[in-house]
Amino acid sequence: MTAIGQSLPRKEDPRLLRGAGRFGDDLQRPGQLHARIVRAPQAHGVLRSVDVSMAVAAPGVVRVLTAADLPDDPRIPVRLTVQGIELTEHLQPVLARETVRYVGEPVAVVLAEDPYLAEDAAELVALDIDQLPVAMDADAGTVAAEFELGFGDTDAAFAEAEHVVELDFDVGRHSAVPLEPRTLLVEPDRATGALEVFGMTKVPVFNRGVLASMLDIDEARIRVHAMDAGGGFGVRGEFYPEDFLVAWLALHTGRPVKWTEDRAEHLVAVNHSRQQQHRISAAFAADGRLLGLRADVAHDNGAYCRTHGIIVPELTLAMLPGPYRVPAYRGRIAVVLTNKTPCGTYRAPGRFEGTVVREQLLDMAADQLGVDPVQLRRRNLLEPAELPHTRPMSTLGTDVVLDAADYPGLLDAAVAEAKRLGYYAQVEQSRAAGKRVGLGVAMFLEKSGLGPQETADVSVGTSGAVRVHSGGTSLGQGIETVLGQITADGLGVSAADVTVINGDTALQPFGAGSWASRSTVVGGGAVHEAALAVRERAIEVAARILEVAVADLTLHDGVVEVRGAPGQRVSLAEVARACQPGSAWLYAGEPAGLAARRRFEVAHMTYPYGAHLAVVELDEQTGGVRVLRYLVAYEVGRAINPELVRGQLIGGVAQGVGGALSEEFGYDESGQPQAVTFMDYLMPTAAEIPEVDVLVTENAPSADNPLGAKGAGEGGLTAAGAALANAVRNALGEAGSVARLPMTPARVRAMLAGEAG
């Protein structure tokens, strides 16, 4: 029985559930110093002076670092560049030099013998700032970049349209807020100037390269260890100013330096996301056929371009047409700098935003056209026969080629499942009982499996234990379990015999990291190929030992045996020992070890898809939205571990509920953030999260990877705003539209009162 497709228990759980996980803050090094970042208290101003004299004299302070101590003006480069877009002047400096641009911007670092002394001394750093006018929304900001994507003749499409539907929709500023704030420990080797960096779970190899380049040392002198992390969701593990500052201080003091941010810092320092203003319009023929789509988007990027550059705006535009047949499309986006925390990706970046806007528009159109919203979608979804479908656009450096799918089938299945589960009946009954309930349906297209490559090493030890060094990192998604199953399947061993070690740049120097729902697809592809290569090698060496032809051998359950003669066998452990240097079984010059490294490359992404159905009830008194029922239907190509796919989807819904209903980074007119504690930044709790029904289908395996897998990391979130907005709109009655997320009680009350949402 193959390990793939089984819901094996997570390899990660024993350590995490027993308190033996190792998070950044668990780590201590003797003699470590503690860093505290001094952050700008104003949103925009000229930094006249940074007076560190009192801080330097404070007890326990070892050093206070300001921009003046750094010879150049180090700025954090963009990880995901978009060709032809120049962002250099908007990159974030590691410390503000002449100007501060958002509340929370790093201005100085205090290094002290303990974290409390560091925090006390940080308050003694005196900043002299001449206030400048602030830009707090996209209309008032500076345009850093502006670009269009699209295809077809939208003018003609709109000219011939029978119906044109238009919508203005704002998505609010929110972000991932993982359970664990960031933490870093950098330990220098005084002898060699080498640095061991603990933290940075997401793209450790990339970050190692950035750090090496910014510190001007060879990357091999830096070893990054990704740690266990309390979730990533896109925001954690990118290269932030602190990643440079802590490493610089360790290198220059020769002592270990530790930094752990508190929640208030986290909420102003880590990437924000999502905030966009959309004007979208669609042209329909009389029969409901979608003829064209136009979108005009303003993306409020905060004060700087960080590592994601303008990839979220690009993804917004590239993914906005979704799974529909769109003959003509024109999307334009302005990336605007404002005096807020800079932005980056957050799980389903660009898709959460685009999907809510598009799907709300489709519900409005259904009303205008007088057709059922599901029918309108059904009519416009691409049919399986139309796939693969190339859209003449590219995003993340790859052409948009929608691969094997059955969008209508998935939608039908989702609706049928919701009916079977009583969603529709419940709505009717509740309405009959006088309750304000609504049902929303939203389709979405996801992307996953971003390349260009991932590398994996699979090796068998002399005890027969199998070890995998993959390029992904363990962010809670279960990558160790999934890659273990893939290895077990490819090699012919039990998944229990496989240990997956991720995120150590010394052990896997070519890792591309865990993001963009790529770990199973691309990371898994590499692991699969490496496991097959080890299998082949094991059989080759076993053939020497058993004195039979390679073709006569099979490998299963950790044993190579002669077909039809099961007594003639060697264990993988024996084969591994026969591969040790000095073994008589090795040929001269033949590489030792029972191991293989393989690189798996993909030209395109693979596009999973799905539908969300939500039933909500509005409280007319408070404006509160209660989510009564929730279904995610999702096509995953092939589920390596079905239970983990379910977990990913349910977790995504939880975050989606937050973004749709409550989470928002507010600012006052002077640029002071209004949500710097959990009293103001309203994360959903277990009370707000519904039971989630999940329907995972495996009807459209990807042809681009040997497993057929499509990523599962984001689809639980992608259409959550859309389904909930559609459900709320449905509950409100069919006039107008929801025009803004989050749908907070105050906004819902306003909508109930007939004001714009």
**Taking contact as CB under 8 A, which single stretch among the options 18-26, 37-45, 283-291, 299-307 is the one that binds its own copies?**
18-26
Strand order of the sheet with strand 257-260?
A: 61-66, 106-112, 33-39, 257-260, 183-189, 194-198, 222-225
**Taking contact as CB under 8 A, which single stretch among the options 293-301, 484-492, 586-594, 658-666 is the one that binds its own copies?**
586-594
Q: Which is nearer to its own copies, 482 or 562 (CB)?
A: 482
End-to-end CA distance of the chain: 54
**Taking contact as CB under 8 A, which single stretch among the options 257-265, 356-364, 375-383, 508-516 is the one that binds its own copies?**
508-516
Shortest Å, Cβ 116 to its own copies: 18
- Give CA–CA dist 736/733, Å, rounded: 9
**Taking contact as CB under 8 A, which single stretch among the options 16-24, 37-45, 411-419, 608-616 is the one that binds its own copies?**
16-24
- The angle at the Cα of 623, spanning 621 to 628, to the nearest 5 degrees, equals 105
Contacts 24+ apart (CB under 8 A), 364-367: 364/165, 364/167, 364/737, 365/163, 365/165, 365/282, 365/284, 367/734
Q: Where are the alpha helices (DSSP H) in 45-183?
A: 53-56, 115-122, 154-160
Residue 510 binds to its own copies (criterion: CB under 8 A): yes
**Taking contact as CB under 8 A, which single stretch among the options 11-19, 164-172, 561-569, 641-649 is the one that binds its own copies?**
11-19
Residue 28 binds to its own copies (criterion: CB under 8 A): yes
* Residue 439 identity: L
Q: Which is nearer to its own copies, 113 or 367 (CB)?
A: 113
Q: Which is nearer to its own copies, 355 or 508 (CB)?
A: 508
Shortest Å, Cβ 36 to its own copies: 21
**Taking contact as CB under 8 A, which single stretch among the options 280-288, 434-442, 596-604, 666-674 is the one that binds its own copies?**
596-604
Shortest Å, Cβ 740 to its own copies: 40
- Separation in Å, CA 732 to CA 167, 545, 618: 17, 75, 8
**What's the full length of the chain, in residues?**
757
Q: What is the DSSP string of 228-252?
A: B-S--TTTTTS--HHHHHHHHHHHH
Q: Which is nearer to its own copies, 582 or 754 (CB)?
A: 582
Buried residues in 405-421 as b, exposed as e (16+ CB within 10 A): bbbbbbbebbbebbeeb
The angle that helices 351-369 and 642-661 make with each other, rounded to 10 degrees, is 70
Residue 56 binds to its own copies (criterion: CB under 8 A): no
Residue 17 binds to its own copies (criterion: CB under 8 A): no
Rule CB under 8 A: choose which of 191, 286, 385, 686 binds its own copies: 191
Rule CB under 8 A: choose which of 398, 499, 554, 568 binds its own copies: 499
Q: Which of residues 415-454 bind its own copies (CB under 8 A)?
A: 451-453
Shortest Å, Cβ 461 to its own copies: 5
Task: Kindly state the tokens that stand for 88.
Answer: 């250099």
Rule CB under 8 A: choose which of 42, 276, 277, 455 binds its own copies: 455
- Binding footprint of its own copies, residue count (CB under 8 A): 48
Residue 56: which residues within 8 A CB-CB, separation 6 or more? 63, 64
Q: What is the DSSP string of 273-328?
A: B--EEEEEEEEE-TTS-EEEEEEEEEEE--SSB-TTTTHHHHHHHHHTTTTB--SE
CB contact at 8 A, 79 and 204:
no
- Separation in Å, CA 72 to CA 66, 215, 248: 12, 11, 13
Q: Which of residues 89-108 bind its own copies (CB under 8 A)?
A: none
Task: Kindly state the tokens that stand for 460.
Answer: 């068998």
Residue 509 binds to its own copies (criterion: CB under 8 A): yes
* Residue 423 identity: Y
- Binding track over 218-247 against its own copies, x by CB under 8 A: xxxx--------------------------
Q: Which of residues 197-216 bind its own copies (CB under 8 A)?
A: 209, 212
Shortest Å, Cβ 197 to its own copies: 16
Residue 252 binds to its own copies (criterion: CB under 8 A): no
Rule CB under 8 A: choose which of 506, 550, 565, 756 binds its own copies: 506
Residue 587 binds to its own copies (criterion: CB under 8 A): no
Rule CB under 8 A: choose which of 264, 285, 421, 507 binds its own copies: 507
In which region does residue 20 sit, left (phi positive, over 0), alpha (psi from -120 to 50) or beta (all else)? alpha
* Residues near its own copies (CB under 8 A): 14-15, 18, 20-22, 28-30, 189-192, 209, 212, 217-221, 451-453, 455, 459, 461-465, 467, 499, 506-507, 509-510, 512, 580-582, 588-589, 591-593, 597, 599, 601
